[in-house]
Amino acid sequence: MTVVKVIEVVGESKDSWDGAVRDAVKQASKTVRNISGVEIYNLTANVQNGDVVEYKANCKIAFPVDGTE
């Protein structure tokens, strides 16, 4: 039986929420092996002078615990 661990991260992008999610997965994959899924549970943005200047995505990243496969 596989045991899955879930961590929470925040991705950021100047362009889109999609970019923010991709950033979260890309950054997490630098230190986490075998990412198997992502859940997006909150989308926010920073606004300056009436314009969105940065998108943020709170994500839960899932990956199998070593030795449980």
CB 12 within 8 A of CB 46: no
pLDDT value at 4 more than 90 = yes
Q: What is the DSSP string of 27-41?
A: HHTTT--S--EEEEE
pTM of the model: 0.87
CB 27 within 8 A of CB 61: no
- Per-residue pLDDT tens for 19-55? 999 999 999 999 999 999 999 999 999 999 999 999 9
Which secondary-structure segment (H or E) carries 45? strand 37-48
